Amino acid sequence: DIVMTQTPLSSPVTLGQPASISCRSTQSLVHSDGNTYLSWLQQRPGQPPRLLIYKISNRFSGVPDRFSGSGAGTDFTLKISRVEAEDVGVYYCMQATQLPYTFGQGTKLEIK
Amino acid sequence: EVQLLESGGGLVQPGGSLRLSCAASGFTFSIYDMSWVRQAPGKGLEWVSAISGSHGYYADSMKGRFTISRDNSKNTLYLQMNSLRADDTAVYYCALHYGSGSYDYWGQGTLVTVSS
């Protein structure tokens, strides 16, 4: 199975400041079809997960442009340009390149 | 508007069975792959099972115990869970692959508690 490792696991951030989360996979996430199925999910407290970013860098419908994704191969990053109060929650990277799909451990974003 | 509504969770004794349902609406259910993902209390997300057409795929720890199925006439996804163990206690979410290559939409989840 592909193991996804996120850093940091906790990220205290000041409102209006940037935040960054890294995700590393144990093998390349490039699919045989040429796509890289790495996505980022947000889970606010008491809510189900919500798709933010898919295929490394594509924002899902309705996601603010302060969220951006980057990376390639086995190393990926989620950036929030200016953290807002509504961004508090846990962020997961997920790979859907190979079954079983796997998730990172989650990074808890909190406000300082 | 895409909607996914899970039901069927509850308290069950170890070794017991439970069937979860996920009622889907707002899209053409029959043509999309669907999955179940679970989250133990205070823990992260764990992929459980997926169905593509009528073919099911399972995480190793669920193989032989869980069965995923769908009824396209009822726009409903199912997860039959047998031989339940305490470590199956979790919120179970159904999730939809809608074209992004990820899980575009998630239900609100249904809690399964396995305890004597």
Task: Please give the pLDDT value at position A72.
Answer: 97
pLDDT of residue B99: 86
Residue A81, both tokens: 């340009």
Average pLDDT of chain A is: 97
Residue-wise pLDDT for A4-59, tens only, equals 999 999 999 999 999 999 999 999 999 999 999 999 999 999 999 999 999 999 99
Q: What are residue A36's DSSP bridge partners?
A: A30
The distance of Cα A112 from the centroid of its chain, to the nearest Å, equals: 21
Three-state SS at A85: helix
- pLDDT, tens digit, 9 for 90 and up, residues B36-62: 999 999 999 999 999 999 899 999 999
Number of H helices, E strands in chain A: 0, 11
Maximal CA-CA distance, chain A: 43
Q: How far apart (Å, rounded) are the C-alpha atoms in residues A45 and A39?
A: 20
Distance from CA of A63 to the nearest CA of B (A): 12
**Nearest chain B residue to A3, by CA:** B46
Tell me if A94 and B103 make a contact (CB, 8 A cut-off).
yes
| A92 chain-B contacts, CB cut-off 8 A | 44-45
Q: Which residues have a Cβ under 8 Å from the Cβ of B42 and sit 6 or more positions away?
A: none
What is the share, in percent, of chain B residues with pLDDT greater than 70? 100
Residue B80: enclosing H or E segment and its boundaries?
Answer: strand B76-81
